[in-house]
Amino acid sequence: MNSFTYSYPVKVYFGEKAAEKNLTAELAKTGPNVLLAYGGGSIKKNGIYEELLGILKDAGKTVTEFNGIMSNPTYAKVQEGAKLAKEKHIDFILAVGGGSVIDCCKIVSAQAKMDADIWELEYTDHQQPTEFIPMGAVVTAFGTGAEMNNGAVITNEDKMLKSALWDAFYDFAILDPAYTMSMPLKQVISGAFDSLSHSMETYMGLPREVNLSDEINEATQRNIIRNIRSTIQNPNDMQARSELIWAAAMAENGILKIGKATDFQCHMLEHQLGAYTDCNHGQGLAVLHPVLYRHMMPEANRQFARLATEVWGIDKAGKTEAELAEAFVETLAEFVKEIGLPSSFKEMNIPGDTDFKAIADSTILTGGCAKKFTREELLEVLLECR
């Protein structure tokens, strides 16, 4: 296991009625001006908006709304939110939604406290922001685990890059499984696959020797797989939903990453695919993972073989390590089809003449991957996914 320092700043309130029970006490710690951030307005249809607005008003807060945060949030939207936060002298941000809203607000939190352009600060000057507007997250769509970390994936349309910016942690996160019950089933499954991908990407990082973090990871993967299947059988299964929302948090709260140099090559490739196509993140991962993993053999065979037996329950009797590794990749591909996610870009309506070379050439190459990919091989992966 690698050396590590572990610190976890986000307080989690988990369970039904978590906002009702805990939000008022958290708001008592904040200033009077609150930015209520959300996406396309689904929270106004399911009653969450009215509930949270009532709590804010009862706490004596002056509320400014920042809505319309899109999937794959853009840098322009970040700047819009930061401008609004400055104009309204915002003391606290309450982000209500899934990963897109939660990520967007992390960068708003930092950009609103500075005059410099945060993208240039981080990518050109290689510096990090030091001041932030305090934030809380109310999760209504899970999968990304964005409320657990300080990374935010933002699409810079001018630069044709979908990349991470690193900024503020949330002070607290409210995870109420009941708040996610109005999510469309396709979104639930897509988000849960993202959680599975986070777990696999962490597991596949170096070192290859299995440590405690990996064994906890294996349990997390088994849990996600089981509860995806349970949710498909019964979308109203609150227990399965509770497990999935916590598994999403576990995949990104740092515990699985202790002592690891993580992989995330598949995520980097999908991010650039998203920059060029604005595709659904979980669906893109579902298409890419089996193809990319076939290219990772034999370098990753040891980890693949263990996943085959410890996560997917594949009988190892009479099988070589290479055969077990191949069985894992094919089982993962079959699982993608079983749960109704796409297996090709064509199924995602991504045109075959998309500039895949530009996507491969602009993809970050990660150091923790078991295989050191070249951009040429990443292009091969993309073309095979068509």
Q: State pLDDT tens for residues 166-225.
A: 878 999 999 999 999 999 999 999 999 999 999 999 999 988 788 999 999 999 999 999
Q: Break the chain down into helix, strand, coil percent, rounded to 5.
A: 50, 10, 35
What would the mean pLDDT of 264-293 be, rounded to a whole number?
98
What would the mean pLDDT of 63-86 be, rounded to a whole number?
98
Same domain, 145 and 104: yes
Sorted by sequence, the CB contacts under 8 Å of residue 322 that are 6+ apart come out as 297, 298, 301, 305
138 by DSSP, 3-state: which? strand
**Residue 256's pLDDT band (cuts 50, 70, 90):** very high
Same domain, 141 and 205: no
What would the mean pLDDT of 133-156 be, rounded to a whole number?
97
What is the share, in percent, of the chain residues with pLDDT greater than 70?
100
Query: Which of 122, 154, 180 lies at the terminal end of a domain, its last residue?
Result: 180
What pLDDT is stored for residue 167 in this prediction?
Answer: 75
Six-digit token pair at 126?
């290689």
What pLDDT is stored for residue 118 in this prediction?
Answer: 97
Same domain, 160 and 212: no
Query: Is 315 inside any structural domain?
Result: yes
Spatial distance between the Cα atoms of 288 and 144, rounded to a whole number of angstroms: 17
Contact 172, 11 (CB under 8 A): yes
The pTM assigned to this predicted structure is 0.96
What would the mean pLDDT of 310-317 be, rounded to a whole number?
98
Query: Which of 180, 209, 229 lies at the terminal end of a domain, its last residue?
Result: 180
The residue written with tokens 């065979």 in the block is 301
pLDDT exceeds 80 at position 378:
yes
Q: Can you give the C-alpha Rg of the chain in angstroms?
A: 21
Query: Is 1 inside any structural domain?
Result: no
The closest of 88, 23, 93 to 58, measured between CA atoms, is 23
Contact 337, 352 (CB under 8 A): no
What pLDDT is stored for residue 6 in this prediction?
Answer: 82
Query: Is 327 inside any structural domain?
Result: yes
- What value does the mean pLDDT of the chain take? 96
Q: 114-120 contacts: CB < 8 A, separation 24 or more?
A: 118/78, 118/165, 118/167, 119/75, 119/156, 119/159, 119/165
Same domain, 200 and 293: yes
Q: How many CA atoms lie within 13 A of 23 on its CB side?
A: 32
Query: Is 5 inside any structural domain?
Result: no
What is the share, in percent, of the chain residues with pLDDT greater than 90?
96
Same domain, 258 and 166: no
254 by DSSP, 3-state: which? coil
The closest of 192, 224, 103 to 155, measured between CA atoms, is 103
DSSP 376: H
pLDDT exceeds 80 at position 133:
yes
State pLDDT tens for residues 156-166: 999 999 999 98
pLDDT exceeds 90 at position 8:
no
Same domain, 267 and 149: no
| Residue 131: domain span | 11-180
Q: How many CA atoms lie within 13 A of 291 on its CB side?
A: 22
State pLDDT tens for residues 333-351: 999 999 999 999 999 999 9
What would the mean pLDDT of 71-98 be, rounded to a whole number?
98
Query: Which of 161, 180, 199 lies at the terminal end of a domain, its last residue?
Result: 180
Same domain, 25 and 133: yes
Query: Is 157 inside any structural domain?
Result: yes
Same domain, 346 and 217: yes
For residue 13, give the H/E element and its range.
strand 11-14
Same domain, 168 and 213: no
Same domain, 17 and 163: yes
What pLDDT is stored for residue 316 in this prediction?
Answer: 96
Domain holding 196: CATH number? 1.20.1090.10
Q: How many CA atoms lie within 13 A of 47 on its CB side?
A: 6
Spatial distance between the Cα atoms of 132 and 130, rounded to a whole number of angstroms: 7
Residues for the chain: how many in total? 386
Please count the structural domains in the chain. Answer: 2
Same domain, 93 and 164: yes
Same domain, 212 and 335: yes
pLDDT exceeds 90 at position 155:
yes
Burial 60-79 (b: 16+ CB within 10 A, else e): ebebbebbebebbbbbebbb
Query: Is 91 inside any structural domain?
Result: yes
What pLDDT is stored for residue 260 in this prediction?
Answer: 92
Sorted by sequence, the CB contacts under 8 Å of residue 118 that are 6+ apart come out as 78, 107, 110, 111, 129, 165, 167
C-alpha 276 chain-centroid distance: 19
312, with CB counted inside 10 A (0-12, 13-18, 19+), is: middle
What pLDDT is stored for residue 364 in this prediction?
Answer: 97
Query: Is 104 inside any structural domain?
Result: yes
